[in-house]
Structure 1
Amino acid sequence: MSAALPDRGQTRRLGISGTRGVVGRCRDFSRTALADWGWLPDSGSGSSRESEPSSYGTHGDTDASYGGLDRDSAPDLDVDFGHDLGRDFGQDFDMDLDEDFDWDDERRAVAEDVLMVVSELVTNACLHAGGPTQLVLHCTAERLRIEVTDASPVPPRPRPRADPALPGGHGLVVLGRLARAWGSVPSGSGKAVWAEIAAPRRR
């Protein structure tokens, strides 16, 4: 994906306090990381922060800390269970038959999915868990894992038979459609809700 991404991948963390403007802050943080990792084309910033040197840590240092939190304070990134409801971008189309493929468009589309998932996870933490306490992004050549930690031990549960005509209750539906897998794990006295999105692929 990017020369700036080490073979082992890279983890970035954002410590969060309060809920005012938190969705926008987490989206900006994620957008900057995506640009650094090559998940966004150079011309697809849409944010002045992407043209500035990253203030979240040294590229290539998987043990760097972000937002004042060290690597050991984050939940285990190797837990592999949850809801496998999403899509794998490598299986959604015939790579050999798509003659109109645009690599920049593919990266922008996947990045938009990432930002939507970040928004949904952070919003759910604000609405149901008193607000998020940490955002963790762990990127490898194959996928991005997003984790949002909060102080509530109650795992997220889809609302039964949510009416599509009414607002609310659709966040986990959106999450299931955009992420290739998602779930939650205990983290201290609370939990971390995670989602994985496959890396954009050249066809």
Structure 2
Amino acid sequence: MDQRGPSDRTWSLRLSGTTDVVSRSRDFTRRALIAWHWLPGVGDNGREAAEDVLLLVSEVVANACLHGGGPRALVLDCSAERLRIEVTDGNPAPPVRVPARGPNAREQPGGHGLLIVERLARRWGSESGSDGKRVWCEVAWPPGIRLPGQA
């Protein structure tokens, strides 16, 4: 079930009890980006920014699947300065970056999710609570794309 917030600037998707959560989250995010005019994109910058957002969503949702007991919700929240991606899960332990695994690390799958998030996001972090955590990351709002609700 998806919901839109005030002025369509906040979109949320409940993921608890669903299957194929990474694909569902990417599809949901793609619909939001289309509604916000990131796609098909305003030039190459909008298209590249949208691809980065889709990859970030994939990574934080997949991390919640692998390490957080499964994602509970995805929230996309935009402002004039940034788009914030938030994923909640039931594990209060903060995310842990996997240390470098030596010269052959590139040949080994997995363990690169937070590295991707660090490289693509302007900022990221997590907030733990008694019933789980929220992992969030932010990207800059692309120039030339109007916010939802702007004339």
Normalized against structure 1, the TM-score is what?
Answer: 0.63
Distance 2:57 2:79 in 1: 17
- Which of 191, 195, 201 is the aligned partner of 2:133? 191
Secondary structure of 1:168's counterpart equals coil
Q: Which residue of 1 aligns with 2:64?
A: 125
- Which of 67, 77, 80 is the aligned partner of 1:138? 77
The answer to whether structure 1 residue 32 and structure 2 residue 52 are counterparts is: no
Distance 1:198 1:129 in 2: 27
Q: Which residue of 2 aligns with 1:18?
A: 17
Distance 1:180 1:26 in 2: 21
Q: What amino acid is the match of 1:182?
A: W
Q: CA RMSD in A?
A: 1.8
Q: Which residue of 2 aligns with 1:176?
A: 118
**1:170 to partner: Cα distance:** 0.5
Does the CA contact (< 8 Å) of 1:137 and 1:144 recur in 2?
Answer: yes
Q: Which residue of 2 aligns with 1:90?
A: none
Query: Which of 1 and 2 has greater Rg?
Result: 1
Distance 1:140 1:39 in 2: 14
**1:40 to partner: Cα distance:** 1.5
Structure 2: tracts of 5 or more residues without a match:
1-5, 145-151
**1:27 to partner: Cα distance:** 0.6
Distance 1:199 1:155 in 2: 27
Q: Equivalent pairs: percent with the same residue? A: 56
What are the equivalent positions in structure 2 for 1:59-138 lying under 5 Å apart? 103-138=42-77
Distance 1:24 1:136 in 2: 15
Q: Which residue of 2 aligns with 1:167?
A: 109
Q: Which has the higher helix share?
A: 2
- Which of 151, 156, 168 is the aligned partner of 2:90? 151
Secondary structure of 1:107's counterpart equals helix
Per-residue CA deviations over 1:70-117 (Å, capped at 9, x if unaligned) read xxxxxxxxxxxxxxxxxxxxxxxxxxxxxxxxx322111100000000
Change (3 A) 1:129 1:19: farther
Distance 1:188 1:198 in 2: 31
**1:181 to partner: Cα distance:** 0.6
Q: What amino acid is the match of 2:83?
A: L
Distance 2:74 2:119 in 1: 21
Q: Which has the higher strand share?
A: 2
Change (3 A) 1:169 1:125: same
Does the CA contact (< 8 Å) of 1:19 and 1:131 recur in 2?
Answer: no
Structure 1: tracts of 5 or more residues without a match:
45-102
Distance 1:155 1:171 in 2: 14
Aligned residues: 136
